[in-house]
Amino acid sequence: MVTPESTTSSETEEKPAIHTSRTPVLTIYTTSEQKSWPNFSSPTENTKTPLPFPLPLNREMFSTPEFNADNFLARRRHLPLDELKKELIIHLKSLKSDLVEMINRDYSSFVDLSTNLKGVDKVIEEVARPLGKMREEVEGVRITFQGVVDSLENQLAHRTSIREKKASLQLLINIHESVRKVESLLLISSETSSSLVSKDDSGNNAKQIERVAIEYNQMQYLVNKGKGLPFVENIDWRITRIKNTLRTNLSSALRSALQTIKDQSNASKETLTQILRTYALIDQTMSAEEVIREELVAPFIQETVKQSVLENPQQIAPSIVIASRSSAGKSMKPRMMASYSKDSLALMYTKILQFINNDCNILLEITRKVLKGTSFEILVNSIWTEVVDAVNKRISFIFNLGNPNMFHKNYSISMNFVSSIENICYSKKSLLYLRNHSTYMEFMKRWQLSVYFQLRFKEISNQIEGTLALNVLSIDNSNNDTQYPTSLKLPASKSTILAIERCWSEEVFIYGLSHRFWKLTLQLIERYKKWLTSTLTELVETNNHVHDKLMNSPALRPSSGSGNRRSGSPVQSSQNNDALDEQVLRNLVIVSHDVENITTKIKEIYREHIIIKLPESMINQPIIEESISNSLSSLQSDLPDLSQKISTILTKRCTEALRHVRSIITQYRQPNTKPPTESSYFVPHIMKPLAAFYDSNKLYLSDKRRKEWSSIVGDAVAVRYYTILYEYLTNLKKTEESSKIMKMKRLKKGQTTRGGLVSLFSDSGDNGVEDSTVMSDEDKIRLQYLLDVKKFGKELTNIGIDIKELKGYIDLYKVVEPYESIQKP
């Protein structure tokens, strides 16, 4: 017997219960005690709410395929690890007890196992003998039936072979009959062949050829089915003769029909339809297109596309007029540029288009409507190919790049011709076939557009660089030059606009180079911006250098024997500085004027000329609009602040008159000075430099710039005026208070030393206080300040400034507004 490892006296000893502080009291029973857990989830046994704890451990819980250690631990996450370990140890002991009990229960049977197997070998031998005999009998039956099956399979294979040979023989008979029938229809004897076509009755022959084509297709089907058979190889020469004869007859019938194509009668159209349908039936459309090219197209192209015709346009001009009259009302209308419509190359292309519209129209209608869905591409394989070959061989000089203007003319005319050919294509499939054709791609490659752009780039860049290399801000007043925009003043600005307009002009622009000309336009704007930046920087640096040189000249330095007095003339120095500032100011105004107007002009060119010439794929891209907007924005934002420089100079000039404000105090400190009744003499002169600036530069100033600079300068002058008045009024108040304090001290001192003498010799109403009816000097000064500020406001209004919106003036007026209550004597 085997005893459990953890038990000492009894296997059925009850396990001690485990008590935890976080769980209810649970009792673990062994399997031998035959005790079970109450079913807390069954409403019949316990109507109370079940405990929110997992089931106790059991063997089935760990043996199921769905057991998952993570889920098991998650359901017992309320237990500490020590408690969980104890629970698992108890379960392990239970399993060991069950194992011991199971071994003890079946131990006697296990020991008696060898005893119960006595005599089994003899029984096995007795059973094996009849089984071996049965196996031999079954094997013999299987061999017999396999022989029968093999015999049946051989007979079936022989039958299948006979059926295939019979089918092959029938196919050979059908091929022979089909070949013989086609030969009889084509009137081909065993030795010679004769043509089926008669020049006198081509219509009936066309019908006969169509019947032959049907039989020919049947013959081709049978021959392809029997391909590789010796019989087919033996009659291959007859099949080849049938093909050649049929092709010859069809070619003769088509040539005969093409001779009468100009009649455009219903009979000729019917004949062509039958012949072309026959070609389609036998899948020989390429042969028909080759015949049309040789018989109809080639003679005309040889007479039309040659150098002598281009040198003498009169040879084709009359025919163009006749063709245009005869083709009135046709659906296809050639489109040529108006400027090139009378060129010899344009006339030649027009004549070709008229030929297509007149002589080839019936063929195109048949393949487009009656034979729709066939593989005919007469426009490409018969007409376009012949035209391109003739152009490449006879007038290849049109591709020369020696003269860009001539190249542009030839390219534009040729591309209009290509567009007209593409418009004739009746379907997208036909258009794609044309564009993917080798001759089409070769024709396009002959036009070396990249080289043409390099020539134009060099031409345009040299022109603008020649102007920008001067690096001057001189004004171009050549009004007689009508090609320049009148709104621009600088030669560089005019040259830039002229270069941009030339990029998109009809004489230079090519649709296939849209992206390159667009890039060149942006480069021209960037080049103009860099030129302005460098020129303005040089201008300002030169002005500062000259100004410093004048200020440091010996004439303006103090002499050794005259103290602070200068031996030179400050008036002359001031005049020189004013002249320099005037020149700089004029240049800045002109630059500001041109930057504003060139931006407007470029936007106008973009809307009216550029956007309509860009491809649809580029127009729909937001980056196109953003790139031109960013370039024009940077043209203004990346330059030095022109408005700030101009307003600084103007503010400096206007504030020079404010130095006379200090004279008001001196004026009213004089005795017996009357109170002011009008503004000071210098107030009307404060904004006079700004008005003079507007008057001298009215040709370069827009209303927008005038209002902008007026507001900036007016506000700056008002702020400066406010600073001066605030300082003077503050000092005036301090002086007034100091004077009152000193006066009071004198009064007190006089009363102490002389007692009642003061009252005897002073006025009865004075008592040491001034008469209130007499305006003090301080009030006169304040009233004068008030009158001056009001007058200054009127001057600002006269030059178009709204003083109600001008913060500097509002603050200025608030300083003197309290003096409105000062009474006049």
pLDDT digits (tens, 9 = 90+) for 543-557: 665 555 544 444 444
Is it the case that residue 334 has pLDDT exceeding 90? no
Q: Count of CB atoms within 10 A of residue 742's CB?
A: 10
Q: What is the pLDDT of residues 233-262, one digit of tens each?
A: 777 788 788 777 878 888 888 888 888 776
Nearest to 275 by CA among 244, 306, 252: 252
Question: What domains are there in the chain, each with its CATH number?
Answer: 31-115 (no CATH), 122-283 (no CATH), 309-447 (no CATH), 453-554+574-640 (1.10.357), 654-752+777-821 (no CATH)
Lowest mean pLDDT among 321-335, 480-494, 533-547, 802-816: 321-335
pTM higher than 0.85, yes or no? no
Dmax of the chain from CA atoms? 177
Per DSSP, helices labelled H in 638-677 are 642-655, 662-668
Q: What are phi and psi of 763, to 5 degrees?
A: -65, 150
CA dist 235 and 233 (Å) reads 6
Is it the case that residue 330 has pLDDT exceeding 50? no
- Under the banding of pLDDT at 50, 70 and 90, the label for residue 778 is confident
Nearest to 703 by CA among 596, 805, 604, 581: 596
Token pair in block for residue 311: 């040198």
CA dist 758 and 766 (Å) reads 11
What average pLDDT does this structure show over 8-35?
40
Nearest to 736 by CA among 676, 685, 778, 765: 778
User: What percent of the chain has pLDDT above 90?
Assistant: 20
CA dist 449 and 501 (Å) reads 20
CA dist 157 and 503 (Å) reads 83
Q: Which residue has the higher pLDDT, 175 or 3?
A: 175
What average pLDDT does this structure show over 137-149?
91
Token pair in block for residue 243: 């093909």
Is it the case that residue 448 has pLDDT exceeding 50? yes
Q: Count of CB atoms within 10 A of residue 803's CB?
A: 18
Is it the case that residue 520 has pLDDT exceeding 60? yes
What average pLDDT does this structure show over 575-579?
61
CA dist 379 and 144 (Å) reads 75
Which distant-in-sequence residues (6+ apart) come within 8 Å of 706 by Cβ? 694, 800
Mean pLDDT rounded to a whole number for the chain: 77
Helix/strand/coil for 296: helix
Q: What are phi and psi of 566, to 5 degrees?
A: -105, 145
Is it the case that residue 333 has pLDDT exceeding 80? no
Angle 236-259/266-281 helices, nearest 10 degrees?
Answer: 160
The DSSP 8-state label assigned to residue 43 in this structure reads: T
CA dist 633 and 545 (Å) reads 31
Nearest to 653 by CA among 693, 684, 680: 693
Is it the case that residue 651 has pLDDT exceeding 50? yes
| 10-19, long-range: CB < 8 A, 24+ apart | 11/97, 11/100, 11/101, 15/90, 15/93, 15/94, 18/83, 18/86, 18/87, 18/90
Is it the case that residue 18 has pLDDT exceeding 60? no
- Under the banding of pLDDT at 50, 70 and 90, the label for residue 743 is confident
- Under the banding of pLDDT at 50, 70 and 90, the label for residue 456 is very high
Is it the case that residue 170 has pLDDT exceeding 60? yes
| Type of residue numbered 562 | S
pLDDT the model gives residue 752? 53
Nearest to 816 by CA among 686, 721, 736, 738: 721
Rg of the Cα trace of the chain?
58
